[in-house]
Amino acid sequence: MLISLCSKIIIKFTLFIFLLVIYGVISTPPEDPIKCSSNNTNCTITNSNGAFPDQSICKASEVVYPTSEVELISIVALASENNRKMKVATRFSHSIPKLTCPDDDTQNGLLVSTKFLNNVLKIDVDAMTISVESGVTLRQIISEAAICSDRQ
């Protein structure tokens, strides 16, 4: 009788924990780390924590959001021709130090955001590889892999 009672308690507790994990945990991605005062110009960037360790503000004169590799190449080429300093800002800016700051002094810096470079390019089931663009989230990778495995 005691073993049966303990088993029931363990089962109920396990079920409770499972439901808590499934339904009780709500996660949302952090807000966009790049903020601009007017149409992608006069911008600031933070990391995913909302501030850099030294609490300073990282500024850039402009941010661009390429949507393809061709567009990215042309943006980098134009910035290089004009001797503009540029940095890449990932979708959620996980940089702890200020590695994403293009140039605090001249306000001529350019941020290149990977936010819209978010496509899964190729899934090779035999090689067990997935080719993605740099703005893809882990959630997208898992979803695409699951869809691909369902087709197998």
Instruction: Find the helix or strand (DSSP H, E) in which 106 lies.
Output: none
Q: What percent of the chain has pLDDT over 70?
A: 74
- The model's pTM: 0.72
Question: Cα(47)–Cα(87) distance, rounded to whole angstroms?
Answer: 14
Q: What is residue 32's DSSP assignment? A: P
- Answer left, alpha or beta for residue 57, where phi above 0 means left and psi between -120 and 50 means alpha: beta
Which segments of the chain belong to CATH 3.30.43.10?
34-113
Residue 23 has pLDDT above 70, yes or no: no
Q: What percent of the chain has pLDDT over 90?
A: 22
- pLDDT tens for 56-85 read 778 888 999 999 999 999 999 999 999 888
Residue 2 has pLDDT above 60, yes or no: no
Residue with tokens 């899964």: 120
Domain 34-113 has CATH 3.30.43.10: yes
Spatial CA neighbour of 91 closest among 53, 62, 63: 63
